Amino acid sequence: MKFNLRVFLLTCMVFSVLVLTACGSAATPVPTDVPTDVPVESPTEAPAEEATATSAPTEPVTDGDAPADGGALVVYSGRSEALVGPIIAQFSEATGIQVEVRYGSTAEIAATLLEEGANSPADVFFAQDPGGLGAVAKEGLFAELPEETLAKVPAEFRSPSGLWVGISARARIVVYNTDALKPEDLPADIADFTDPKWKGKIGWAPTNGSFQAMLTAMRVVWGEEKAKEWLEGIQANEPKVFDGNAPIVEAVGAGEIEVGFVNHYYLYRFLKEQGEGFKARNQFLTGGGPGSLVMVAGAGRLANGKNEANAIKFIDFMLSTVAQQYFAGQTYEYPLVEGVNTQGGLTPLAELKRLEIDMVDLDDLAGTTKLLQETGVLP
């Protein structure tokens, strides 16, 4: 009897394992639904929030064992595999350079880079936000990029010392529920959301990197005091707290809240999945204040990397038309290179009244965190 039980269980399990394993395919996943109210925060850190990618099939880039041109290029990426995997694969195909990518959250990857220091095996750091780039730059781990590379993007989107360069940009916007609000109802400046009439209607994600970048911009542009007042003012309006941007957009669409402070590209993903009937739209605040922040995701070359030429090729590729179009078309981000158009009805970057700030000024994350902790928004 016991023998039979074990054999039976064993067979069941092996069978299930085989079924699950075998029913995978080589195609890139196409997400079609988002379960309600499920937080998107990754178990290790505030999630890499990106719009989804639906592009050409992926070749696994992670089993490179045939070195070429000085060995495989090692990239540490704070951006998720689902988003940048395809474009990295295209780079490999186009150049024949093998790429090995380590994925993780920006904070983990940056912390790892900092611990590794000069002994890091990484050649390129592909970051989600300027904070990570700034921290690594401060430690002196980046090497200067060549002028031609740097010149491809406007000056405010790269490090003034040429240590890193922005690759694509995202804008802070306010997403609003179309049933409850019209564009005219929304203020032009984010500071006005402290008005009591917004009580109970706001959603935010204070652990999210982009939100924190916005807050850093507030501190820089408004000063510590006013930034603190803003935080306290929003707190007084009892905002709903979320772990990431996607749930905020979803909640807005469902009518649970009326406005949310998020990045622009989430809406497009929802629109794609749920169609034009999705009851939310973006509003870029026209006031030009910190609420109109545009931030970059970017990359830099590690000074101690062993693959200098290929690293530069990689970054150049990301700034090439092909890649920039990928970012525009697949992830709905703003391309930074001249001549590449935005897609999906996005207002081109040049026409946005965005906050005048250099990316490099956004790297005092520590101070922002302290402020968030002081006001009790963060633990």
Q: Which of 7, 29, 160, 350 binds other proteins (CB under 8 A)?
A: 29
CA distances to 54, 232, 265, 372 from 320, rounded to whole Å, are 20, 43, 21, 38
From the list 55-63, 163-171, 187-195, 320-328, the region that binds other proteins by CB under 8 A is 55-63
Spatial distance between the Cα atoms of 142 and 212, rounded to a whole number of angstroms:
23
CA distances to 44, 60, 254, 292, 354 from 261, rounded to whole Å, are 23, 35, 16, 11, 16
- Write each residue from 205 to 244 as x if it is in contact with other proteins (CB under 8 A), else as -, in one continuous string: ----x-------------------------------x-x-
Q: 299: which strand partners?
A: 126, 165
Spatial distance between the Cα atoms of 293 and 163, rounded to a whole number of angstroms:
22
Say whether residue 86 binds other proteins (CB under 8 A).
Answer: no
Residue 56 exposed, middle or buried by CB count within 10 Å (0-12, 13-18, 19+): middle
From the list 119-127, 163-171, 178-186, 278-286, the region that binds other proteins by CB under 8 A is 119-127
Say whether residue 7 binds other proteins (CB under 8 A).
Answer: no
Q: Toward other proteins, which CB reaches closer, 38 or 350?
A: 38
Say whether residue 114 binds other proteins (CB under 8 A).
Answer: yes
Say whether residue 41 binds other proteins (CB under 8 A).
Answer: yes
From the list 48-56, 143-151, 180-188, 321-329, the region that binds other proteins by CB under 8 A is 48-56
Q: Which of 43, 96, 339, 345 binds other proteins (CB under 8 A)?
A: 43
- For 8, half-sphere exposure in the C-beta direction (CA atoms, 13 angstrom radius) is 5
Q: Which pair of tokens denotes residue 364? A: 């005092």
Q: How far is the CB of 321 from other proteins (least distance, A)?
A: 26
Q: With contacts defined by CB under 8 A, how many residues of the chain interact with other proteins? A: 81
Contact 153, 324 (CB under 8 A): no
Q: Toward other proteins, which CB reaches closer, 75 or 191?
A: 75
Q: Toward other proteins, which CB reaches closer, 110 or 337?
A: 110
Beta carbons within 10 angstroms of residue 323's beta carbon: 24
Q: Toward other proteins, which CB reaches closer, 39 or 146?
A: 39
Q: Which of 16, 161, 321, 341 binds other proteins (CB under 8 A)?
A: 16
Spatial distance between the Cα atoms of 103 and 338, rounded to a whole number of angstroms:
29
Q: Toward other proteins, which CB reaches closer, 84 or 337?
A: 84
List binders of other proteins among 133-172 (CB under 8 A): 135
Q: How far is the CB of 184 from other proteins (least distance, A)?
A: 30
The SS3 assignment for 188 reads coil
CA distances to 131, 132, 135, 161, 373 from 111, rounded to whole Å, are 12, 9, 9, 22, 21
Q: Which of 68, 143, 186, 378 binds other proteins (CB under 8 A)?
A: 378
Q: How far is the CB of 228 from other proteins (least distance, A)?
A: 16
